[in-house]
Amino acid sequence: MPSETFSNARTRALRRGAFAALFLLAGLALGWWIGLHRARSHAALPVLFAAPAYQGLVNQNGENVSSRDFAGKVQVVAFLFPYCNTFCPVIAAHLVGFENLLAGSALADKVEVVAFNVDPAGTGPAQMRAFLQEYGWNPSDPRWQYLTGTPRQIRRVVTGGFHVDYQRVVDSGPDAAASLPALAVAGSDPQPIVANPLATQAHVHYDITHEDALMLVDPQGRVRAIYDQADAVGKFRLLHAVRSLLDAAH
Protein backbone atom coordinates (compact mmCIF):
# COMPACT_ATOMS: atom_id res chain seq x y z
CA MET A 1 0.00 0.00 0.00
CA PRO A 2 2.69 2.56 0.83
CA SER A 3 4.37 1.91 -2.51
CA GLU A 4 1.04 2.31 -4.31
CA THR A 5 0.38 5.58 -2.51
CA PHE A 6 3.82 6.81 -3.46
CA SER A 7 3.19 5.86 -7.09
CA ASN A 8 -0.11 7.75 -7.14
CA ALA A 9 1.49 10.80 -5.60
CA ARG A 10 4.25 10.68 -8.16
CA THR A 11 1.73 10.40 -10.97
CA ARG A 12 -0.20 13.39 -9.65
CA ALA A 13 3.03 15.41 -9.40
CA LEU A 14 3.96 14.55 -12.97
CA ARG A 15 0.52 15.60 -14.15
CA ARG A 16 0.76 18.89 -12.31
CA GLY A 17 4.16 19.48 -13.85
CA ALA A 18 2.82 18.71 -17.32
CA PHE A 19 -0.13 21.08 -16.87
CA ALA A 20 2.22 23.80 -15.59
CA ALA A 21 4.45 23.32 -18.63
CA LEU A 22 1.45 23.51 -20.95
CA PHE A 23 0.23 26.72 -19.30
CA LEU A 24 3.72 28.19 -19.58
CA LEU A 25 3.95 27.28 -23.26
CA ALA A 26 0.47 28.69 -23.89
CA GLY A 27 1.44 31.94 -22.16
CA LEU A 28 4.63 32.19 -24.19
CA ALA A 29 2.71 31.49 -27.40
CA LEU A 30 0.10 34.12 -26.53
CA GLY A 31 2.81 36.67 -25.73
CA TRP A 32 4.57 35.88 -29.02
CA TRP A 33 1.32 36.23 -30.97
CA ILE A 34 0.46 39.58 -29.33
CA GLY A 35 3.96 40.88 -29.98
CA LEU A 36 3.84 39.75 -33.60
CA HIS A 37 0.37 41.26 -34.05
CA ARG A 38 1.52 44.60 -32.64
CA ALA A 39 4.66 44.57 -34.77
CA ARG A 40 2.62 43.89 -37.89
CA SER A 41 0.15 46.61 -36.92
CA HIS A 42 2.93 49.13 -36.39
CA ALA A 43 4.64 48.14 -39.64
CA ALA A 44 1.42 48.40 -41.64
CA LEU A 45 2.15 52.03 -42.54
CA PRO A 46 5.65 52.33 -44.03
CA VAL A 47 7.73 55.49 -44.01
CA LEU A 48 7.23 57.04 -47.45
CA PHE A 49 9.17 60.30 -47.29
CA ALA A 50 9.87 63.24 -45.02
CA ALA A 51 7.14 65.87 -44.89
CA PRO A 52 8.37 69.33 -45.91
CA ALA A 53 9.54 71.84 -43.32
CA TYR A 54 8.14 75.35 -43.63
CA GLN A 55 7.65 78.61 -41.76
CA GLY A 56 5.98 81.93 -42.46
CA LEU A 57 2.62 80.49 -43.52
CA VAL A 58 -0.61 81.84 -42.03
CA ASN A 59 -3.76 80.03 -40.98
CA GLN A 60 -7.43 80.90 -41.48
CA ASN A 61 -7.16 83.48 -38.70
CA GLY A 62 -4.06 85.18 -40.05
CA GLU A 63 -1.78 83.63 -37.40
CA ASN A 64 1.76 82.59 -38.28
CA VAL A 65 2.29 78.83 -38.42
CA SER A 66 5.35 76.67 -39.04
CA SER A 67 5.81 72.93 -39.43
CA ARG A 68 7.49 72.86 -36.01
CA ASP A 69 4.13 73.63 -34.41
CA PHE A 70 2.97 70.09 -35.19
CA ALA A 71 5.95 68.18 -33.79
CA GLY A 72 4.83 65.19 -31.74
CA LYS A 73 1.37 65.05 -33.32
CA VAL A 74 -0.16 63.01 -36.10
CA GLN A 75 -1.16 65.30 -38.95
CA VAL A 76 -4.03 64.58 -41.31
CA VAL A 77 -3.02 66.63 -44.35
CA ALA A 78 -5.45 67.81 -47.03
CA PHE A 79 -5.28 70.17 -50.02
CA LEU A 80 -8.34 72.37 -50.45
CA PHE A 81 -9.62 75.08 -52.80
CA PRO A 82 -12.08 77.45 -51.04
CA TYR A 83 -14.20 77.97 -54.18
CA CYS A 84 -14.35 74.27 -55.02
CA ASN A 85 -17.75 72.63 -55.53
CA THR A 86 -16.65 69.07 -56.25
CA PHE A 87 -14.32 67.03 -54.04
CA CYS A 88 -13.08 69.63 -51.55
CA PRO A 89 -16.40 70.16 -49.73
CA VAL A 90 -16.83 66.38 -49.41
CA ILE A 91 -13.32 66.03 -47.99
CA ALA A 92 -13.91 68.91 -45.58
CA ALA A 93 -17.19 67.42 -44.36
CA HIS A 94 -15.54 64.03 -43.80
CA LEU A 95 -12.70 65.64 -41.85
CA VAL A 96 -15.17 67.53 -39.69
CA GLY A 97 -16.82 64.20 -38.90
CA PHE A 98 -13.41 62.75 -38.05
CA GLU A 99 -12.58 65.66 -35.74
CA ASN A 100 -15.96 65.35 -34.02
CA LEU A 101 -15.21 61.67 -33.47
CA LEU A 102 -11.96 62.64 -31.74
CA ALA A 103 -13.54 65.35 -29.59
CA GLY A 104 -13.41 64.52 -25.90
CA SER A 105 -11.17 61.49 -26.42
CA ALA A 106 -7.58 60.99 -25.29
CA LEU A 107 -6.50 61.46 -28.91
CA ALA A 108 -7.99 64.93 -29.34
CA ASP A 109 -4.78 66.77 -28.43
CA LYS A 110 -2.54 64.40 -30.35
CA VAL A 111 -4.00 64.88 -33.83
CA GLU A 112 -4.10 67.94 -36.07
CA VAL A 113 -5.87 68.49 -39.37
CA VAL A 114 -3.59 70.57 -41.58
CA ALA A 115 -4.96 71.78 -44.92
CA PHE A 116 -3.14 73.79 -47.56
CA ASN A 117 -4.87 76.38 -49.72
CA VAL A 118 -4.13 75.51 -53.35
CA ASP A 119 -5.39 78.92 -54.51
CA PRO A 120 -3.01 81.28 -52.68
CA ALA A 121 -3.16 83.85 -55.48
CA GLY A 122 -6.94 84.16 -55.48
CA THR A 123 -8.04 83.45 -51.92
CA GLY A 124 -6.81 84.09 -48.39
CA PRO A 125 -7.77 83.75 -44.72
CA ALA A 126 -11.20 85.36 -45.16
CA GLN A 127 -12.28 82.85 -47.81
CA MET A 128 -10.65 80.00 -45.89
CA ARG A 129 -12.63 80.87 -42.75
CA ALA A 130 -15.86 81.03 -44.72
CA PHE A 131 -15.12 77.67 -46.35
CA LEU A 132 -14.56 75.97 -42.99
CA GLN A 133 -17.75 77.46 -41.57
CA GLU A 134 -19.80 76.28 -44.54
CA TYR A 135 -18.87 72.66 -43.93
CA GLY A 136 -19.26 72.61 -40.15
CA TRP A 137 -16.01 73.76 -38.58
CA ASN A 138 -15.44 76.68 -36.22
CA PRO A 139 -12.44 78.59 -37.68
CA SER A 140 -11.32 79.60 -34.20
CA ASP A 141 -10.82 75.95 -33.19
CA PRO A 142 -7.04 75.32 -33.33
CA ARG A 143 -7.45 71.61 -34.10
CA TRP A 144 -7.80 72.54 -37.78
CA GLN A 145 -5.10 74.67 -39.37
CA TYR A 146 -5.91 75.82 -42.91
CA LEU A 147 -2.68 77.32 -44.23
CA THR A 148 -1.81 79.72 -47.02
CA GLY A 149 1.07 81.92 -48.08
CA THR A 150 2.54 83.40 -51.23
CA PRO A 151 2.07 81.36 -54.43
CA ARG A 152 5.77 80.52 -54.33
CA GLN A 153 5.62 79.31 -50.71
CA ILE A 154 2.60 77.11 -51.30
CA ARG A 155 4.03 75.67 -54.50
CA ARG A 156 7.25 74.77 -52.69
CA VAL A 157 5.41 73.04 -49.84
CA VAL A 158 2.53 71.38 -51.70
CA THR A 159 4.19 70.35 -54.96
CA GLY A 160 7.83 70.37 -53.98
CA GLY A 161 7.34 68.84 -50.53
CA PHE A 162 4.17 66.73 -50.61
CA HIS A 163 4.38 66.01 -54.37
CA VAL A 164 0.80 67.12 -54.99
CA ASP A 165 0.31 69.03 -58.22
CA TYR A 166 -2.32 71.70 -58.83
CA GLN A 167 -3.15 74.03 -61.69
CA ARG A 168 -5.33 77.08 -62.27
CA VAL A 169 -7.81 76.56 -65.10
CA VAL A 170 -9.41 79.71 -66.51
CA ASP A 171 -13.05 79.94 -67.66
CA SER A 172 -14.19 77.05 -65.51
CA GLY A 173 -16.00 77.92 -62.28
CA PRO A 174 -19.44 76.86 -61.04
CA ASP A 175 -21.25 77.00 -64.39
CA ALA A 176 -18.68 74.92 -66.21
CA ALA A 177 -18.37 72.51 -63.29
CA ALA A 178 -22.01 71.54 -63.74
CA SER A 179 -21.11 69.86 -67.03
CA LEU A 180 -18.32 67.74 -65.57
CA PRO A 181 -20.39 64.56 -65.13
CA ALA A 182 -21.23 64.58 -68.84
CA LEU A 183 -17.54 65.04 -69.68
CA ALA A 184 -16.35 62.25 -67.40
CA VAL A 185 -14.04 59.74 -68.99
CA ALA A 186 -15.71 56.43 -69.79
CA GLY A 187 -15.30 53.97 -66.95
CA SER A 188 -14.51 56.64 -64.34
CA ASP A 189 -16.74 58.00 -61.64
CA PRO A 190 -18.20 61.47 -62.31
CA GLN A 191 -17.16 64.27 -60.00
CA PRO A 192 -19.77 65.16 -57.36
CA ILE A 193 -21.31 68.60 -57.54
CA VAL A 194 -21.60 70.09 -54.06
CA ALA A 195 -23.20 73.43 -53.25
CA ASN A 196 -20.63 76.05 -52.28
CA PRO A 197 -22.33 79.38 -51.49
CA LEU A 198 -18.92 81.02 -51.17
CA ALA A 199 -18.10 80.22 -54.80
CA THR A 200 -21.57 81.23 -55.98
CA GLN A 201 -21.28 84.58 -54.25
CA ALA A 202 -17.80 85.23 -55.62
CA HIS A 203 -18.78 84.39 -59.23
CA VAL A 204 -15.33 83.01 -59.94
CA HIS A 205 -14.49 82.09 -63.51
CA TYR A 206 -11.64 79.73 -62.82
CA ASP A 207 -11.01 76.45 -61.09
CA ILE A 208 -8.02 74.87 -59.37
CA THR A 209 -7.54 71.31 -60.48
CA HIS A 210 -5.54 69.27 -58.03
CA GLU A 211 -5.02 65.74 -56.81
CA ASP A 212 -7.73 64.35 -54.56
CA ALA A 213 -5.23 63.28 -51.90
CA LEU A 214 -5.17 62.90 -48.14
CA MET A 215 -1.97 62.15 -46.23
CA LEU A 216 -0.97 61.04 -42.76
CA VAL A 217 2.19 62.47 -41.19
CA ASP A 218 3.52 60.78 -38.06
CA PRO A 219 4.77 62.56 -34.90
CA GLN A 220 8.31 62.49 -36.31
CA GLY A 221 7.27 64.44 -39.42
CA ARG A 222 7.26 61.55 -41.89
CA VAL A 223 4.54 60.82 -44.45
CA ARG A 224 3.20 57.35 -43.65
CA ALA A 225 0.08 57.03 -45.80
CA ILE A 226 -1.36 58.58 -48.95
CA TYR A 227 -5.03 58.12 -49.81
CA ASP A 228 -5.57 58.89 -53.49
CA GLN A 229 -9.33 59.24 -53.07
CA ALA A 230 -9.55 61.54 -50.08
CA ASP A 231 -13.30 62.01 -50.46
CA ALA A 232 -13.84 58.28 -49.90
CA VAL A 233 -11.79 57.85 -46.70
CA GLY A 234 -14.14 57.09 -43.82
CA LYS A 235 -13.59 58.52 -40.34
CA PHE A 236 -13.24 55.11 -38.66
CA ARG A 237 -10.62 53.98 -41.18
CA LEU A 238 -8.75 57.20 -40.56
CA LEU A 239 -9.04 56.80 -36.79
CA HIS A 240 -7.58 53.26 -36.96
CA ALA A 241 -4.58 54.50 -38.97
CA VAL A 242 -4.00 57.44 -36.62
CA ARG A 243 -4.09 55.14 -33.58
CA SER A 244 -1.53 52.81 -35.15
CA LEU A 245 0.85 55.73 -35.70
CA LEU A 246 0.43 56.98 -32.13
CA ASP A 247 0.91 53.46 -30.73
CA ALA A 248 4.07 53.01 -32.80
CA ALA A 249 5.47 56.28 -31.47
CA HIS A 250 5.50 54.94 -27.88
Q: What is the pLDDT of residues 119-144, one digit of tens each?
A: 999 999 999 999 999 999 999 999 99
Q: How far apart are the C-alpha atoms of 243 and 84, rounded to whole Å? A: 31
Q: Is the pLDDT of residue 207 over 80?
A: yes
Q: List, for residues 150-191, the tens digit of each pLDDT value.
A: 999 999 999 999 999 999 999 644 444 443 333 333 344 556
pLDDT at 248: 81
Q: Which of 246, 238, 230, 245 is nearest to 48 (CA)?
A: 245
The CATH code belonging to domain 49-248 is 3.40.30.10
Q: List, for residues 8-66, the tens digit of each pLDDT value.
A: 555 555 566 555 555 455 454 445 444 444 444 445 799 999 999 999 999 999 999 99
pLDDT at 23: 47
pLDDT at 151: 98
Q: Which of 194, 170, 218, 249 is nearest to 73 (CA)?
A: 218
Q: Half-sphere exposure of residue 86, counting CA atoms within 13 Å on the CB side?
A: 22
How many other C-beta atoms are found inside a 10 Å radius of the C-beta of residue 242? 22
